[in-house]
Structure 1
């Protein structure tokens, strides 16, 4: 568990550097950071069923979704759809989105001396790509435990994330790293680079006075940006899912690029978009909920801790 403890320590360090400004020290994370993690947890919980469907489709590209769902039901029953792998998925998605959405604006300010909203497409892509590196290092053990639990037909781990990680070697924690890095980087770049233009388009189409229909506009533009990211990251995520399933479950050595070539050769390029419908709904929904919930949570946090914590 040494690697897991190290990653937890990294997360705590991340939280410590996202505290309020030095001029107003606090033992609590800033409203900006807290609101992001609150929104991330709510989003992860609400979208778990969609993520499960996406995961099933991607670990078996080319297999019909009804068959995948039927097989999963036979193995885990109806409650499996809301419980099997729930803990690692909610943990993974909360950390993933929390780090991404909290660190991205800070890195943009640090690298380019301006707010992300004032950046160019190039600066947003660079900041998003840089953000994905610590994000991936933190979520890798959770990615591994998620795969192990959603394929644990023999109930070896008793649906316990802790037991799955305890019985996994430190080396295996990084299984599929290339694919996860590709997935997180491409989605972040696509989302943050496109949400501004999508919001401007929605504003023009919907019209109305400034401040009107904010919730609808945030949901719509966030969903569109999330789907944009999904278009970019689905091929790599499909390959990543197969690589992790083979290495962790089937115990067959596999790596990213050979598996990609194999899938394309045997099932065609289109199979790289296995489960895209569920993935687009999942990531689009995630982008929409984060765009809607984060400002709302930020307002609550600022009211609770005072405007002095505002960054």
Structure 2
């Protein structure tokens, strides 16, 4: 078959929204169950405003020794309730904005458009996740006295009203814009650099590798915003993200903006690979099942 014939082959029809939403939800819950303890360690390291006493392994051991293994999963109900709509929104919004920016594929996807699409998806996602993130952070804090997610919500509403659940919204916005832009933009570039897969296992490997690298790059970009978001949400200060970044640098040094980076990247790099792997695998299976015009 000539290259002209290949290039003229029509692009498969996008899957209905319900499939995109469901695949993102399933992928997110899978990643969360596997890697949540790393998130707890990351949060504890970020909330420490003094000189860190522990590295990642030391913090993990300290939590288990003093508080028990179960403490590593404290606060998981909030992100678990959030994970399905969050990850579903991530991939569904990325697909939606991709259609918008490429005018439903009449404009070729480029890395610039891929980054823009990811940023828009992250912005969309941030509005959904802020209250869940606030509940999670307040439960993960070492000094937390809340009995559970509903207790956090009840006391936050009593003290600050409904808007109290959206403390840290702006920092969350920048955290998700930067991660998604780095993640989806990197995936586009890495896929173009990898040799074309000659088998199904090769395709799965390429998806996992590109997703993992994308997750690592997204984590490098968004960790400073994640640090200030965690602190703003814990203390309910309502501080803006960029002044908070400047304050942290002045008081603790530039390195403080990357507190918790190791457990965070160890979660989100392979986690990004798991997300893409699961979504792409489910998408391929569903397209083959539905047949034309989806394949």
1:212 Cα deviation (Å)? 5.1
Contact 2:24–2:84 (Cα < 8 Å) also in 1:
no
Provide closer, same or farther for how the CA distance between residues 254 and 76 of structure 1 changes in structure 2, counting only shifts above 3 A.
farther
The equivalent residue for 1:4 is: none
Asked if 1:113 is matched to 2:109, the reply is no
Q: Is 56-65 or 104-113 further displaced after alignment?
A: 56-65
For residue 75 of structure 1, report the CA deviation from its aligned partner: 6.1
Pick aligned residue for 1:148 from 124, 138, 147: 138
Instruction: Indicate the RMSD between aligned Cα atoms, in angstroms.
Output: 2.9
Q: Note closer, same or farther for the CA distance 1:254–1:209 as it changes in structure 2 (3 Å cut).
A: closer
Shift of 1:191: 0.8
- Indicate whether 1:187 and 2:179 are aligned: yes
Equivalence for 2:153: 165
Q: Name the structure 1 match of 2:4.
A: none
**Equivalent of 2:27, from 39, 50, 61?**
39
**Match in the other structure for 1:81:** 72
Correspondence 1:239 to 2:231: no
* Structure 1 residue 271 corresponds to structure 2 residue 261: no
Give a deviation string over 1:123-143, Cα, whole Å, max 9, x none.
222222222233111111101
TM-score (norm 2): 0.82
Q: How many residues align?
A: 275
Deviation of residue 180 (structure 1)? 0.6
Query: Is residue 227 of structure 1 aligned with residue 216 of structure 2?
Result: yes
Q: Which residue of 2 aligns with 1:216?
A: 205
Return the alpha-carbon distance in structure 1 between the equivalents of residues 223 and 90 of structure 2: 18
SS at match of 1:119: coil
Shift of 1:146: 0.4
Q: CA deviation at 1:274?
A: 1.0
Query: Is the 8 Å Cα contact of residues 48 and 89 (structure 1) preserved in structure 2?
Result: no
1:284 to 264, 269, 272: 269
Q: Matched residues in 2 for 1:246 and 1:309: separation?
A: 52
Per-residue CA distance 1:72-119 (angstroms, 9 max, x = gap):
44664221113x001112233333222111111121112321449941
1:15-30 to 2 correspondence within 5 Å?
A: 20=16, 30=18
Judge conservation of contact 1:31–1:310 (CA < 8 Å) in 2: no
Ranges in structure 1 where 5+ consecutive residues have no aligned partner = 1-17, 21-28
Shift of 1:177: 1.2
The answer to whether the 8 Å contact 2:25/2:86 transfers is no
